[in-house]
Amino acid sequence: MKILHTADWHLGHRLHEQSQFEEQTLFLNWIENYIIDQKIDVLLISGDVFDTGSPSNQSLEMYYNFLVQLKTTTCNYIVITGGNHDSPGTLNAPKHLLDALAIKVVGKATENIEDEVFEITINNEKVIVGAVPYLRDGDIRRAVAGETFDELTDKYKTALINHYQAIAAHSKSINTTQAPVIAMGHLFATGGSVSDSEQNIYVGTLGHIGAEDFPKEFDYIALGHLHRPQIIGGNDKIRYSGSPNILSFSELNYDKKVIVLTLENNKITTIEDAIIPNFREFYKLKGTITECIAQFPNCISNTYELTPWVEIVLDEENTINTDDLKKSAATYPFEILKIALKRQRKLKGIEELLENTKSIKELVPTEVFQLKCEEMGFDLKQRPEIWDAFNEVLQAVKKQ
């Protein structure tokens, strides 16, 4: 049996307001062909299928067309879990219909733990999958009036670990043939490496757990949330597959991947990764205006022929006229998405930040709050409870 682990598709994502529909479509075509070529039997998607809780009709159509198309391939079983970007209601809405196609969806934590555990048998090989979605605080922890932030943190982490222990216990109780057990998850595991495109999904360090916190009964843990493919805690059986497409210019220095497990004789015999093609070329140019212009001829497309996207970081201290830069770029077949200054002064007023920001979506609420506190001379380091309170309110708003 072959199992493919992927996550963080973020269908509908826009980079600096530019649609990534083209490379997302190419990725779905690629993974379908990869499944056919490699004879993949099971597909696991560990959260953040969509970039927003209210995906567009275009994104929904991409998703459903892909799932239907997979039924013509060797892939006999699909398990999809919700991420922090996903709306549980949106993912769960067609749950019963998809179930008829051997597509299991767990949009949020279920009332009965057995509803997150699936037994899969293909070609006389069996695997048990604990399909754990992004675990929201309110879904797994009973709030107590007046509890402190430290108490909240400890109780949530305990509830999260208990959830995985319950998955492991139930999997063990039904595992009559000693089949491998795979857990899925969408969370931040300590020691993971982040990029600029991941959203902080917890208040402070709420919910941060390490490799040692997962039950030992799991033979593999298929994680989502972090966009860089990586192994956690030196344990090669606890992995993030990473996102399949580049979602920010901070993700240019590593390959995008999917992970493939091979099961034989009740054991995971191999864990291999496969590099996903770079469907669109991204370039980050640094230097003076003259030096950046000199690099323009190198900003070319690839065989997929999508327009290359460019970010320019100028080695300047103050705001300067970039007309010459833009005029020179107009003669080349790429698009500049962002121009920034390398040595921009640290403290920027909120008004100036708004003036120089292309879109309100580029503003991160936590950064704006920190900047406003700096402007007002309020030291958050001396009053950490204010920072925690702000993050708690922010997370509550995100859940609406």
In a domain, 68, yes or no: yes
Q: Are both 68 and 48 inside the same structural domain? A: yes
Report the CATH number that the domain containing residue 225 is assigned in CATH: 3.60.21.10
Looking at the structure, do residues 202 and 318 belong to the same domain, yes or no? no
Which domain covers residue 366, as residue numbers? Answer: 359-400
Q: Which of 242, 275, 308 is the last residue of a domain?
A: 275
189 with 338, same domain: the answer is no
Give the whole-angstrom CA distance, residue 53 versus residue 89.
9
Return the exposure string of 38-63: e unless at least 16 CB atoms fall within 10 Å of the residue's CB, then b.
Answer: bebbbbbbbbbbbbbbebeeebeebb
Q: pLDDT tens for residues 244-291?
A: 999 999 999 999 999 999 999 999 999 999 999 999 999 999 999 999
User: What mean pLDDT do residues 375-379 have?
Assistant: 76
**Is the Cβ–Cβ distance between 6 and 186 less than 8 Å?**
no
* Together in a domain, 263 and 232: yes
Clarify whether residues 144 and 291 are in a common domain: no
Give me the long-range contacts of 34-37 (CB less than 8 A, separation at least 24).
34/4, 34/258, 34/274, 35/4, 35/70, 35/73, 35/74, 35/75, 36/73, 36/74
Same-domain check for residues 96 and 13? yes
Last residue of a domain, one of 246, 275, 304: 275
Kindly state whether residues 212 and 301 are assigned to the same domain: no
User: Are residue 38 and residue 90 in the same domain, yes or no?
Assistant: yes
Note whether 234 and 87 are same-domain residues.
yes
**Per residue in 193-225, pLDDT tens?**
666 665 555 444 445 688 999 999 999 999 999
Number of folded domains that form the chain: 3
Summarize pLDDT for 70-126 with one digit per residue, the tens: 999 999 999 999 999 999 999 999 999 999 999 999 999 999 999 999 999 998 899
Instruction: Specify if 132 maps to a domain.
Output: yes
In a domain? residue 55: yes
Residue 354 is assigned to a structural domain of this protein: no
Q: Give the model confidence (pLDDT) of 330-358 as tens digits.
A: 999 999 999 988 765 544 555 555 555 54
Looking at the fold, whether 43 and 106 belong to one and the same domain comes out as yes
Q: Are residues 117 and 261 in the same domain?
A: yes
Together in a domain, 297 and 230: no
